[in-house]
Amino acid sequence: MKKFILFTSFFGFLLTPFSFAWAKQNVLQDLTYLQRAGTKLVDLNYRLTLETGQTAEVTFTFSHDNGSTFPVACRSITGDVGKGLTSGYKSAVWDAGVDWPLQFTDLGRIKATCLVTGEDPPPDDDRKPLAFDVVSVPLTSSKIIYSPAWSLNKWLDQAIEMGEMTKRPKGYKVAKYEVTNHQWNEVAEWSVSRGYDLKQVSYSPGEENLPRTNVAIKEVVKWLNALSEKQGLTPMYYLDPFEPRWDQNRDGKFTLGNDSMWGGEEEGDWDYQWDPNFDWTLIPNGKKHLTGGWIEFDPNYNGMWDEGEPFYDRNRNKVFDEGIDSLWGGEEEGDWDYEWDPNFDWTLIPNGKKHLTGGWIEFDPNYNGMWDEGEPFYDRNRNGKFEPWEFFDLNNNGKVDDGLTEVCRTGDISSIEKYLGGFSIGLHTKLDRGGFTLPKSDFAFSETHFLAMGGRENSEWGEYWDYYKPGPPDEGPKQGLIFKDEWPWGAESPDEMPNIDEYAITPFGKFSSPQGVGLTKANDFGIYDMIGNVREYINHWHKGTPPGYFYGEPFVIKEVMVSGGSVSNGFEKVQNWDSWDPDYSEPKWEIVPSQVMAPYLEDWSPDLGDEINPPSADGNPDVGFRPVRWTF
């Protein structure tokens, strides 16, 4: 009688010798396998020991003749098998009843085959720790619309106008490499005796040149301050914020007025949401149904007026008169707004009546974002002069606060949110103080994109909309040289390049984890790893909504943003809406260069703000950082 047995002997070693990469040690060790009682399922366990940058492909075959041959491939197997395996203890389950049905033996054995990729020794094994070093990058102008240099210069114009900068930079000093473990510890050690609470990072021998990762951004800003002071520069990050200014009426000075260029946005505007002197006899029961700036005129949603519900009392008799009064507010003649009320007090909005069209006042007829003589405004003090509140009074003390006096050396810079109601790193940074900071990026431009491209500015002739030029948006498109988004090495996408390992450490190359900095080619600016290896923090960090800083309805802002793409993140294929195929009228799915080199949002709606792979403010294993500073 045959026994229902597959195996009678088990081995904790491989039955045949293998050649392993680097030949320093067996890569696959401690192999064991055991058939489950009463089944034809076989449990396999083993251990992989790989070098940095290696992955393994493991497959199994079966012998029914005590290892003389291994004719059966273990295909019906689940668990830790196949490509992309990393170091550690592994397990899998083989269903022998599928691959070797109705067969029996007491001489069964299993062989594991291990193919290692990333087999060349790490090229930085013998390199000494790299010192912190910078390269000089000139800030050039450009006539190529939407190019990194063109967009950056447009943003600088706005930053100077807004008071974020007082002078125009000539260029950059940019860290040649992403900050390494060794470089971090050098600055952290120096900083301790200078009042900083920075901690050194622990790492194993040979990891000196790995990027500093898993670091909270609140620690990064302190390290950047320490680096600045170590090099005799003025620190960039401060615990106390400054209040941004904007010379809206362009008189060359900042005033403490209380007028508004835009109607209905701030306290004192003539509506029930903001005006403390609003005449509530117009809307009986309205105030008690006011929620979030809106009156619910039909709380029970029955389409009828019921006792106790709000209504527009046009004849002021406090009784809802069918045919005279209105159940819904602001829709018919006699409602208390400038569209319908013949007795509306136009001294509240000088120049408003002549710009009233279709029931709406055009507050910025030339679309330049500024108040110009003769345009409407909300004149709260009724003196006929436009006196805007030309700075953001974050602490509501009625005066301009310069801030930026307490250098951030200890603690958490974002704790300022306790009395501001929100946090923005931009309010704690004076851009032209000359110290080291993170590259600044926003939705319309990106220093990281500019630096990553290394000066490459390919273009093609086409149509474009000049969003920066003042004027109505319906002037139509213009023609000119338009920036053609490409990679620093050319047009070929990294996932299609057989030699990508020469240019960047990406998910498409031979490495599966971050490597030492500077192993690939530098771009034309002399900067390494702007694309690939690890993603990099940028100077965009918000929490909540600081009062007075953002207009409109509150919206969710992601805390931290990054750029660069890494071996494990940031190279997703997205819909490139600028690359429609006219034959199919649908966008292409591809890796968009600007999505990798700059923060990218899947949806431009501020309500969503879901950038691809947002990092944590507390650090990620594939996120590092790179210091930059402006030169003047």
In order of 220, 234, 621, the CA distances from 404 in angstroms are: 18, 11, 32
pLDDT for the residue 594 = 81
> Which amino acid belongs to residue 550?
F
Quick check: 177 and 528 in contact, CB under 8 A?
yes
H/E segment holding residue 151: helix 148-161
Quick check: 228 and 436 in contact, CB under 8 A?
yes
**Helix, coil or strand: residue 224:** helix
pLDDT for the residue 11 = 32
Q: Up-side HSE of residue 426: CA atoms within 13 Å toward CB?
A: 21
Does the pTM surpass 0.85? The reply is no
**Helix, coil or strand: residue 21:** helix
- Report residues of the chain scoring pLDDT below 70: 1-25, 52, 118-126, 263-277, 292-293, 329-343, 358-359, 417-421, 442-444, 467-475, 545-558, 576-587, 600-613
Rounded Cα–Cα distance for residues 66 and 7 (Å): 9
Question: Per the structure block, which two tokens stand in for 603?
Answer: 């949806």
From the list 63, 124, 51, the residue with the least C-alpha distance to 99 is 63
Q: Look at strands 88-95 and 41-48 and give their pairing.
A: antiparallel
pLDDT for the residue 626 = 98
**Helix, coil or strand: residue 593:** helix
